[in-house]
Structure 1
Amino acid sequence: MTRRSSSEGADSAIDASEAAPAGAPATTGPVGRHLGSGGGHRVLRLTALVMATVLVAAVGFVAVQVLRLQSNVSTLPLNLAEDQGSALPVDSSTDPLQILILGSDTRTGNSGEFFGDESDSSGEGNSDVMMLLTLSADREDVTVVSFPRDLLVPLPSCVDPETGDVSEALDLGQLNGALDEGGPGCTVAAINNLTGLSVDHFMMAGFNAVKELSSAVGGVEVCVQEPVDDEYSGLSLPAGTSEVEGDQALAFLRTRHSFGDGGDTGRIAAQQAFMASLARKVRAEGTLTNLPKLYSIADVITRNLTVDEGLSQPTELLKIADRMKDVDLGNIAFVTVPTEQWVEDPNRLVLNEEAAAPLFDALREDRGLTEDAPEPSATPSAPETPQAPETPAVDPATVPVLVINATTDTARGAEIQQLLAAAGYTQSSPYESVPAEVSQVVFGPGYETAAADLAARFGIPDSQVLLSEQTVGVQLVVGADLATGSKVVVPPLGSDLDGQTADQVTCQATSGL
């Protein structure tokens, strides 16, 4: 079936209006109405001309923008492995889609010295960020899987597209080093081997992409539990919530010293939180349905992006944006591929194959990770031996608790107070607050044990247990994820996967290094 363009539709409207000349007598209707009929035709003709002009201008704008964006894009081959065939063509609007997102580290010298111009870059470098973005065919689910840079995996033999050099296949090699063996196509080949997938596209961005994109959207909100002042990355943030853009956004994504245990795990968690926050902001501001703003962002991205040939048309990027614009934030999952320490070097990681298998199965079968797992079949089990109740680690009657009701249910604060009283926390008082998505426990000095106990009772993750020097006692912030029941509702992410969904607001634990 041949589709008609918008301009063809406009031409038809013009022809129809000109079929009856202005001022011609009406051949139907009461006598004396011909002047009114002729005026109606003039209105129709003027309306058609205006609509045609607007449509032609819009089509012209889009065409110019697409051509301009296309001139921005750099391309490299999708797959460089000698023993892997080419990926089958996909429809970016309707097929399951896997896109490998790479952040390249091409700086020389100290890994923290990444500010300034691009003159001190050399070669492809290593992959600073490796994320596999998967979009389901039904447009219901998005999964983003992070791969640690210290992960050891089998590396295929790759052909460098510029020099023709062939790299040696390795039984175990560091995944982020595949980029330097010929480009992103070698990392794609390694991910294919690891997951059993056939990655459809890749996007590789340099440092400027993060800086310019974060500024183009007006900053991205992030949260840290304690102040951060990292001399290596230049990241400087006060405790609590801040908006970062430019160099500070890049520092937040790249720091290896500020979060968690000071290694890659904490950094990946911060990257996932940043991406989730970016998704929330873009959705809240309607960016994906605002063509001028979308083109502005696409311009930033394409100027700083290297992609495979199949993704070099900016229209393909717009198709992907269209697919993502209506996905529920709770169905956008950010997870880290399950790993374990390598027995020969605890500073390196290898794949935890048993834990990773359900994740890779879900990706291959085009299933979202936020769906409830099937209930296991019931099997008889021996009755459990009654256990003696544990001695409380803290006397709850001595702990002052402020119950901050951040739900839309005005009775929820009183319900939580009843649950606290049943657990022995008799010194609780209510406070109504503005709605919040995520529950938290905020505690003052000396109340660490009580905070941990309350977090465990209500299922609040450690990342949402925060120390505040100004707080006396404990504050229990009751968010939308604790609007009912006695445990926070966390969207399931399958098996033992670490991560979050895009609707979850997380606050990063600092490393103290």
Structure 2
Amino acid sequence: MGRRGSSSDDPLHHEGGIPAPPVRAGETHPVRHSTARHLRKGKRFTWLKVVSAVLACALVAGLGVIVVKVVGLRSSLTTEPLNLGTEAQGLPVDLSTDPVQILILGTDSRANTGGAYGRDPSSDGKGNSDVMMLMNLSADRERVTVVSLPRDLLTDIPACEDPQTGAIYPAQQFAQLNTALSYGGPGCTVAAINQLTGMEIDHFMMADFNAVKELSTVIGGVEVCVNEPIHDTYSNLELPAGVSEIQGEQALAFLRTRHAFGDGGDRGRIRAQQSFLSSMARKITSEGTLTNVPRLYNIADAIARNLTVDEGLAEITKLLALADRIKNVDLGKVAFVSLPTSLYEPNPNRLVMDEVEGEKLFSILRADGDVTAADEDEEPASPAPSDGPSSPAAPEPEEPAFDPSAQPVEVVNASGTDGRSSEIAEQLQTLGYLLATGTESLETSPATQIFYSAGFEDVANELAEELNVPKASVLSSERNHGVTISMGADFATGTQLEATGGVGGNLRGQTADQVTCQGSGGF
């Protein structure tokens, strides 16, 4: 079902998303006031809709060197309280040895942008948090897991106290998660996500629109891949098909767009953001950035001038400890995961968390586990007790999910190596896919992808397993009937794609060592 029409680029029509009027100090209200710390006086920033600048630096060793320069830039940082929930109970965390949860936020606020990004009445003041990423650092320093929370997610928001005015915003039931930012600030989003996940967020980071533009320019651009030309008049994203290196306004547009990717909703945009961050991490680790002190200082400057953190994280010693624990994480263990969701039936433009799969994800993170690990096989069920001897029942033969010989499969060679489509088509024919055909393409693609139209998802997944194509590159598309295997430059030889990283179980997402491309269609 399509999800167009719910866009951060258009005026947002919230469902349960208009903040309840606050109760001013001195007025009676059944909600209890908290002892939350008040905001330090100083310059207020608008927050970044996309937080790639902060996250990309945190994912690589560069932050360890950058932070030395940040000491001189400390005055550029702005702080806000960590948790505005009236039931807030902050617990101390050791950034060197404990598992750490850091919430990374961005906002759709147009304040102080001079009208460069349009006018949206719902984004006045603090705005709404268009991007919410919960970054989890494992205690053993070997894993980084980033969970993307959709802005369209419906959940409960607890009562929050505005640190500037002392006003209490009443609790909201089944409201849109991204509106929590407007209930006093980022600390209310922290409180809401703590309640949703059963976790305890230790710190947050926020940056403004300029951060992604400045950082993407400082590092010389970030490579992105799209399957067809993009002309998005809402975000002003203009890209040819294939691989492009983007920076500045185009990098921001890539991260802002909702209309260009997927079905026009949160899921497609989140996938594009994960791909961008993975590409940025790969570039920073591969181009000598980590040993280039002038470039590192420029990165530090771009971050510090556009960064807001909670009061605890503003201490330089804590930033040093944080940097030290992430600097050697392998990109295959840097996982970007989408929160498991389903469409909200009364309004398909909204999402709700899949309770079963969502709880599986957060139970892994609460146990400081690894989301890239495959699910362990379940123990076989014990047989029911019997009163007497009996012969074991013969297992019933499983019905095949589909008949391979009747499935339309097209293999498109976009690898840049002649003859590959015929080779793989012949291989599939020996496996029973008698209708498999090969087609040569004039275009090349960096990544192998499998596209399927409605009714062919099982076929696509079976072929992905046969060819070892990661599930992050198995996408729905109605451009062709059946299944289309687009062979990229990563599949120029052999009968199976060389394995890369990936997330386990039923989770959707990718690891930072995987190259993915974006396009229209479902997700």
Give yes or no for TM over 0.5. Answer: yes
SS in 2 for 1:322: helix
Offset of 1:392 from its aligned partner? 2.3
Offset of 1:301 from its aligned partner? 0.7
SS in 2 for 1:161: coil
Deviations 1:90-136 (A, max 9, x none): 23232211110001221169x9964499xxx8521110111001111
State the distance in 1 between where 2:374 and 2:486 align.
28
Offset of 1:174 from its aligned partner? 1.1
Deviates more, 1:306-315 or 1:212-221: 306-315
Aligned residue pair count: 430
TM-score (norm 1): 0.73
Alignment match, 2:94:
91
Structure 1: runs of 5+ lacking an equivalent? 1-60, 407-411, 444-449
State the distance in 2 between where 1:314 and 1:229 align.
43
Question: Is 1:507 paired with 2:511?
Answer: no
Give the 5 Å matches for 1:148-187: 148-187=150-189
Q: Contact 2:101 / 2:201 at 8 angstroms: preserved in 1?
A: yes
SS in 1 for 2:140: coil
1:256 to 237, 255, 258: 258
State the distance in 2 between where 1:453 and 1:370 align.
20
1:494 to 493, 499, 504: 504
Alignment match, 1:39:
none
Question: Is 1:439 paired with 2:453?
Answer: no
1:392 to 399, 406, 412: 406
The structure-2 alpha-carbon separation of the partners of 1:82 and 1:439, relative to structure 1 and needing over 3 Å to count, comes to same
SS in 1 for 2:216: helix
Q: Contact 1:105 / 1:206 at 8 angstroms: preserved in 2?
A: no
1:347 to 342, 345, 349: 349
Deviations 1:277-326 (A, max 9, x none): 11111111243454443332121111101100111134533443333232
Q: Contact 2:77 / 2:304 at 8 angstroms: preserved in 1?
A: yes
Give the 5 Å matches for 1:194-205: 194-205=196-207
Alignment match, 2:240:
238
Alignment match, 1:49:
none
SS in 1 for 2:350: strand
Offset of 1:68 from its aligned partner? 2.1
The structure-2 alpha-carbon separation of the partners of 1:365 and 1:114, relative to structure 1 and needing over 3 Å to count, comes to farther
Q: Contact 2:413 / 2:421 at 8 angstroms: preserved in 1?
A: no
State the distance in 1 between where 2:364 and 2:137 align.
12
Deviations 1:416-437 (A, max 9, x none): 5762452558986999xx9x97
SS in 1 for 2:297: helix
Alignment match, 1:207:
209
Structure index of larger Rg: 1
Percent identity (aligned): 50
Alignment match, 2:75:
71
The structure-2 alpha-carbon separation of the partners of 1:259 and 1:369, relative to structure 1 and needing over 3 Å to count, comes to same
The structure-2 alpha-carbon separation of the partners of 1:288 and 1:165, relative to structure 1 and needing over 3 Å to count, comes to farther
Q: Contact 1:223 / 1:508 at 8 angstroms: preserved in 2?
A: yes
Q: CA RMSD in A?
A: 4.1
Supply the AA of the counterpart residue of 2:340.
P
The structure-2 alpha-carbon separation of the partners of 1:138 and 1:455, relative to structure 1 and needing over 3 Å to count, comes to closer
The structure-2 alpha-carbon separation of the partners of 1:167 and 1:485, relative to structure 1 and needing over 3 Å to count, comes to same
Deviates more, 1:300-309 or 1:452-461: 452-461
Alignment match, 1:52:
none
State the distance in 2 between where 1:454 and 1:330 align.
23
SS in 1 for 2:128: strand
The structure-2 alpha-carbon separation of the partners of 1:504 and 1:493, relative to structure 1 and needing over 3 Å to count, comes to same
Q: Contact 1:481 / 1:489 at 8 angstroms: preserved in 2?
A: no
State the distance in 2 between where 1:235 and 1:382 align.
56
Question: Is 1:143 paired with 2:151?
Answer: no
Question: Is 1:419 paired with 2:427?
Answer: yes
The higher-RCO structure (CA 8 Å, 6+ apart) is: 2
Q: Contact 1:132 / 1:146 at 8 angstroms: preserved in 2?
A: yes
Offset of 1:453 from its aligned partner? 9.7
State the distance in 2 between where 1:290 and 1:94 align.
29
Supply the AA of the counterpart residue of 2:110.
R
SS in 1 for 2:106: strand
Supply the AA of the counterpart residue of 1:336.
S
Q: Contact 2:230 / 2:238 at 8 angstroms: preserved in 1?
A: yes
Alignment match, 2:192:
190
Deviations 1:344-372 (A, max 9, x none): 32222121111101110111111121123
State the distance in 2 between where 1:113 and 1:298 align.
27
State the distance in 2 between where 1:315 and 1:424 align.
63
Deviates more, 1:302-311 or 1:100-109: 100-109
SS in 2 for 1:252: helix
When you count helix as a share of all residues, which structure comes out higher? 1
